Structures are given as structure tokens and as C-alpha cells.
Chains A and B, each alone.
Chain A
Amino acid sequence: MSLTVRDLRVVFHTGRGLVWAVDGVDLDVGPGEVVGLVGESGSGKSVTLRAIARLLHSHADTTGQVRWRGQELLTLSEPAMEQIRGGQIGMVFQEPMAALNPVLSIGLQIDEVLVAHTDLDAKARRRRALELLDQVGIAAGAARLGQFAHEFSGGMRQRAMIAIALAANPQLLLADEPTTALDVTIQDQILRLLLRLKDELGMALLLVTHDLGVVAETCDRVAVMYAGRICETGTVRDVFRKPHHAYTQALLRAMPSENTGEDFDEHARLVPIPGMAPRLDAPSPGCAFTPRCTVTEPRCGVERPVLLVEGDRTSACYARDRL
């Protein structure tokens, strides 16, 4: 494994008390692997990603282990962490318009990554920037380098952000809902682009999304998150064919089936998940999904199911065998 996350916990100190956003997450990403981290908004998946890259602000307490190629990231010094961020681990955000600095040219925003992580001189950096734009499919790169984010279209902005993230040839790309803000047609282009670049550069990809369709299309393995905890993990094929957690099953039933793999039951009706996303300021002693679950048993609400390992799958649900 190149990235190993163990018992990751993030607590936010807010004006109205504590919020347990990430509550003991275990996660593995192997070299060259594409792992999907899937869940509803507020499930803690984006916070997990930011905690891995240590991007959370000072009002967040992060504990646990994040091992990257044998190095513990959570205790690393800030300068050493800066070397890894953008160097070995690249990151793509959800909303390119917000993530790109509005008043700095795209060229400068690519260049500063190269300045930080390579020894290239100005000329070579410019050549590299042009090469990157070409790689992510932005034509007329020389003219584009001097332009600003507002002069790009939505898809082009996302391509530019990917170019920035890949500038220093990272071995792992953390992508936080990279297609959510885009039109459907462009979503597909960007996903294909990410997969192609992953193969070309031989890097691993940790993809955070709320869209099971995206997971089915792109990922090797998937981890399902609910209320700051991992429900289950496994290969996409296994999990989609036979979920081991009631929440995963509910999620799969709530999405149209043609995206979910070739063997899925095509006649199943869409079943929305009842109830609302859980509050994170008062974690339940049991499984957080209990109030919305249709297959509960008495112990679900009081005793938290532990994550059971079974071959290359893990799951934390008492109803696993009844699903």
C-alpha cells in the first residue's frame, strides 16, 4: 500500500460545540489503484481527503495515522509536508472557479508548483507548462498561459486545475468531487482524462464523490462513508453486486441502475433513502444509519458494529448476511 489511513479522526471546534466530522476512518490506496470514497454530502468524505493532505484549518483536531510510503504525514513538519503536497501528492478540488486564484494568470499558477517542486529554470518551466496544458487537452497553450480563470470555460478550468495538480508528477492524486460542478457531457470527458493520465503517469487516484455512477465507471475499489465512518470497502464489482452494509444497499437502490455495472438487476425500482443526514454534533453509540435503516435490529442503535475484514472486503453492519 502506498497510502494507509488508520483510525483517522477529525473534530471541529465550532461556535456551537464539537462536531465529529471524521470518526475513525481506515482506508488503503495501493500504487496505481483508483479508489472511490463515496457518501452523501456531510458524510465526512471531503474532510477525510483534506485531513490526509493536512489542509484543515486550526479549528480542526486531526488524530490517527496517515502513512504515505512509510512516512507518517500527521506528525511531519510543515516544510516537509509542503514538499509532499503538490510534489508527491497532488490534489484537485471540486469547484475550479473557486479554487483557482481569480487575479493570477493560469501560467503563474502552474509555474509556482514547478518552482516549489522542481529545479527547472524559467525556460524549462514554461516548456513544461505548455506540455501540461497539452496533456490535459487545452489547445493553444501559449495564449492560455497568460489568461485568467474567468476567461476559461468550466471544463477548461477543471482541466487547468488538473494540469496544476499534475505539474510535479505526483504518485497520488486526491480528487475532491472533480466533476460535480460540471455539465454532464463534460463530466465524462474529465473522468476519461483523469483515467488516461493515471495510466500514463502511473499514479494512484483517490476519488471523492457522491455519485455511484462515477465510481462504477472509474474505480477499482470503493469505500462507502456515512456520518464520518467507513461502512464498507471492497472492489467495485463485489460491492455493487452484493453490498455488505445496509446503507450501501440503500444507496444502490436510490440510483438508476444502468450505471451500476452489467449484472445489476435492471428492473429494480428507485427507492429513496428516508429521513435526513445525521447530525454530527452528537454521535450515536450505535450505527449512525440506524434511524434511516430498514433492516435494523435492537443492538444497531446502542452498539457500534466493528469493521470486519473478510478477504479483500471490509464491512460494519449487523445485517450483512441478511442483505
Chain B
Amino acid sequence: MFVLARLLPGDPVSAMLGDRATDATVDRLTAQLGLDQSIPVQLLQFLGGAVQGRFGDSIAYHIPVTQLIADRLPATLTLTGLSMVIALVLAVPLAFVAALQADRWPDLIIRGVFQVGLSTPIFYVGLLLLTVFAAWLGLFPVGGYGDTVLEHLWHLFLPALTLAFSFAAVLMRSLRGAILSVLNAEFVDFARAKGIRQRLILFRHVLRNALIATVSLIGLNVGSLLGGAVITESVFAVPGVGRLMVDSIFARDYPVIQALTLALAVLVSLAFLLTDIVQMALDPRVGR
């Protein structure tokens, strides 16, 4: 990101200050951001700072960027975590129904709805849910975050549902395929030959194997969930890092954007790691 930003045309300082800034202001900010140095020196300074956890101060909030991000991160993590749970709760049973009724009406309807869902932008899903469930029906708060943990979950439910929708679609599609191929596996026939209950076969034998095939997909999609959080938080006014990101762009708070981009990449890497661990726990053939 850093390198990309530096190599691209465009000057962050003038972008930050706009066209009317005086030369003196430009020089001061340039020096303040260390942009008067050569690119390799800047890169070293930035990376050196990043390793030590120093990202400078936010231009808009006048507090250390790290503290700002730490304040805002819990909301985003809760939001993405909650939406992951909702997506799984939606996708697993529907994938089962779709796979067991493959190419019949329930399957076609489920796939059709999710296909439409995949083609609907997140902000639009958010606006629709916000209008119907919060504004018209008054079932949920219109936005914000609340104060207690329960309130957090309460406030974040609609945003999480919004975010979960497209993720559930991706998940359902993959799980349905995995379940279909597992259903044809010989060990499912053998399990039936053992005379154990149909339900037990589905949950113990089929779901587990299908989930193993899908876990890596969950990890790969953490990035798009975090990206989606940027939009969702903006729609629902959730005080998380996603909204901070958008606000920072309009505030031209360059250090925040830079640090935030890096922080989210670290989160994605952690998610990849977590995926590998979960995969190892679920699948005895991996690792050990």
C-alpha cells in the first residue's frame, strides 16, 4: 500500500490540503509527514515506525493513530464476527435444503434469491433493511452502537445481517456444491448400510466433510467482509474502523488511512492463520 501510494501519480499533501493551500503550509505538512525525504528513506521510516507500532498522530483527531484504531476496532470486529455467525446460520440449513432438493423448486428458489443477493450492492441491502425494520417497523435502532455488550449486539444486528447476506450467498453456493459431492461419496452409502439415522448421517458424516471443504473459503472471504464493513458502517453509522476509514478520506487524515489499511491487512492474515488452525482441528488428515 505504502509503495503503491508513493509510486502513483498525485501528491498526498495537496490532496489533503486542497488547491488553496499556501506553499508554507504545504512545506510544513510535507516535512511533518516526512514526505520531503526520498522514497526509500520514507519507506524505511514508515516500516521502522510500523514495526514499533508508531504510526503518528491523526490529523483530524489529534490523538495517536494506534489509539484511534484500537478504540474503533471492537465495533468492527463484533460486526464482522456477528455477520459471520448469521451467514453460517443462514447458509448451512439452506445449503442442505438446496442440495437435498437439487434442481427441484426449493433449490431453484434458494439459488435464485441468493443470486439476486449477490448482485445487490451491500449499501442498498443496508438501506432497505434500515428503512423496513428500523424506520418503518421500529424493530431495531436506526444506527449507532449503544453502550453495553447487549446493546452493541442489538445495534449491530441489522448491519451484521446486511453484511451477512452476500457472504451467506457465497457460502451457500460453495456448501451446496460440497454437500452434493459428499452425498455421492461411498462413505455416506456405507453409513446408511450401518443403519444409523438419516439425520445423524447428514450432520455427522456429510456436514463435517462439507464444512472442511468450505473452511478455507470462509478465511478467504474475511477480506471482503472487512471491506463490506466499511460500507455497512457508513450506512448504519456504526463507530468502527470502516466508518473511520471513509471519514478519514474526507478529512484527508492520511496517517489514519495508511495505518488502517495495514491494520486490516494484518487482520486478514490473522484470519488466514485461524483458518488453517480450524482446518487442522476439523480434518485429521491435515497436519499432525
Contact = CB atoms under 8 A, between A and B. Distances in A.
B198 to A, nearest CB: 7
A90 B187 CA distance: 15
Interface string B274-288: 000000001111000
Nearest to A112: B196
A104 B194 contact: no
B195 A104 contact: no
A93 B285 contact: no
Contacts of A87: 195
Contact of B193 (A85, A100, A117): A85
A101 B209 contact: yes
Interface stretch (A67-75, A76-84, A197-205): A76-84
A221 B195 CA distance: 28
A83 B197 CA distance: 9
A111 to B, nearest CB: 10
B200 A103 contact: no
Contacts of A168: 195
Contacts of A81: 195
B186 A85 contact: no
Interface residues of B, number: 23
B152 interface: no
Which 3 residue pairs are nearest across A and B when measured between Cβ atoms?
A86-B195, A85-B195, A98-B186
A103 B192 contact: no
Contacts, number: 83
Contacts of A78: 198
A91 interface: yes
B205 A101 contact: yes
B134 to A, nearest CB: 42
Interface of B: 185-187, 189-198, 200, 204-205, 208-209, 212, 282-285
Chain B CB within 10 Å, residue with most, of A53, A99, A113, A117:
A99
B192 A150 contact: no
19 contacts: A50-B189, A55-B189, A78-B198, A85-B194, A86-B193, A86-B196, A87-B195, A93-B193, A98-B185, A98-B187, A100-B190, A101-B187, A101-B209, A103-B208, A104-B204, A117-B195, A150-B284, A150-B285, A168-B195
A102 interface: yes
Given A84-B195, A112-B204, 16 more contacts: A53-B193, A82-B198, A83-B195, A91-B194, A93-B190, A101-B190, A102-B187, A102-B209, A103-B212, A103-B282, A103-B283, A103-B285, A104-B208, A112-B191, A150-B284, A168-B195
A91 B197 contact: no
Contacts of B189: 50, 55, 93, 99
A148 B198 CA distance: 22
Of A101, A148, A164, chain B has the most CB atoms within 10 Å of the CB of A101
Nearest to A79: B197
A99 B190 contact: yes
B197 A82 contact: yes
A99 B230 CA distance: 46
Contacts of A86: 193-196
Contacts of A95: 186
Contacts of B195: 81-87, 113, 116-117, 168
B196 A93 contact: no
Contacts of A103: 208-209, 212, 282-285
B196 A113 contact: yes
Contacts of A83: 195
